[in-house]
Amino acid sequence: MNRLSSVLILVLALALSMSFGTALKADTLEDVKSKGVLVAGVKDAVVPFGFVDEKSKELVGFDVDICKEIAKKLGVDIELKPVTSATRIPKLSQGMVDLAACTMTHKLSRDDVIDFSITYFMDGQKLLVKKGSGINSYKDLAGKKVGSAKGSTSEKNIKVVQPDCTVLSFEGYPQAFLALKQGKVSAVTTDSVILIGLKGSDDKPEMWEIVGDFFANEPYGIGVRENDSNFRDFVNRSLIEMWNDGTYKKIYDKWLGPDTKYYMPLTWEMETFPE
C-alpha cells in the first residue's frame, strides 16, 4: 500500500467517524426547535382521528389536535403529512415525519424498529357488518371474507382468533368499508372507534352495526424514532400535562363526546407520573 492510498483511507475513515458521531448526536427535539416546525404523520381517511374536512379541505381529527397541542408546547408550527398503516413506520424511520400519531397500536414487535409514547388512547378490535347479516362475532366468520387495512394489527389479529376466514387487505378502512357495501367481504375488522367513524360518517348508518366483544386490545401510542429518548420524554410529558389540565378531555369530547356522531364513552385513564 503506497502513501497516497494510506492517506485516502485515513481521510475516508475520518469522514465516516464524523458522520457516525453526528448520527449519534441526532436529537429530534432540538431539530424541531431549530427548524421551527413539527412534521406530524397522521391518517387522512380515518374518521374521527385524521381525515379531510369536506368544507375546509383541511386535515382534522383527534390525532391532529393532539399533535397541534404538542407543537404548541414546543412553540413551533405544525406540518401534517398523511400516512397509512403500511407507510407510517417507514416514513418515521426514514425521517420523513418527526412523529406518528395515527391510530397506531403499541406492539412489542414494533419496538424493534421505533419507540412509543405512553398509551394515549385505549381501544379494542371488533367487527362492522351489515345489520341482519347473522354475524355476531368472529366465530361466525369461518369460510367468509373479512376486510381490513394493509400493515395493521387488525389483519393479523383476526387470523389468530378465526384462522378459517379469508382476510382481504385494503389500502385503508374506507376501501374495506366500500368492499363491505359491495358484498365483496362479509365484515370489516379494526379498532372499534374506527368502526364507529365508518358507520357514523355513512349516509345510511342504520344499515350497519358493530358486533361482538373485544377480541384484541389496541393501546395507541405516538411513534417516535428508535432511541430518541429526549423527544419521547417530551411527548410523554406533553400527554400527561394534557390529561391533567383537562386539554385531553376537551379534545376527546370534541371528536368522541356525547354530542358527536362518534360517541364513545371515556372509560379508561391515562397512566401518568408525578414530577
Per residue in 88-132, pLDDT (tens digit) is 999 999 999 999 999 999 999 999 999 999 999 999 999 999 999
Query: What's the structural domain count of the chain?
Result: 2
Q: Is the domain of 213 the same as that of 227? A: no
Helix/strand/coil for 18 = helix
Residue 273 is assigned to a structural domain of this protein: no
Domain housing 108: 28-120+221-256
What is the sign of the dihedral through the CA atoms of 6, 10, 15 and 16? positive
Single out the residue of 92, 43, 90 nearest to residue 66, CA to CA.
43
Percent of the chain as helix, strand, coil, to the nearest 5: 40, 20, 35
Q: Is the domain of 104 the same as that of 184? A: no
Residue 46 is assigned to a structural domain of this protein: yes
Question: Can you give the pLDDT at residue 120?
Answer: 98
Q: Is the domain of 137 the same as that of 111? A: no
Question: Can you give the pLDDT at residue 26?
Answer: 55
The domain spanning residue 53 has which CATH number?
Answer: 3.40.190.10
Question: Can you give the pLDDT at residue 2?
Answer: 52
Question: Can you give the pLDDT at residue 275?
Answer: 81
Ranges in the chain, pLDDT < 50: 4-25
Question: Can you give the pLDDT at residue 19?
Answer: 40
Tell me which DSSP letter residue 105 carries. Answer: B
Which residue is associated with the grid cell 413551533? Answer: 76
Q: Is the domain of 43 the same as that of 88? A: yes
Q: Is the domain of 101 the same as that of 50? A: yes
Single out the residue of 104, 116, 113, 112 nearest to residue 49, CA to CA.
104
The CA–CA distances, whole Å, from 212 to 126, 127, 129, 140, 149 equal 6, 7, 10, 10, 19
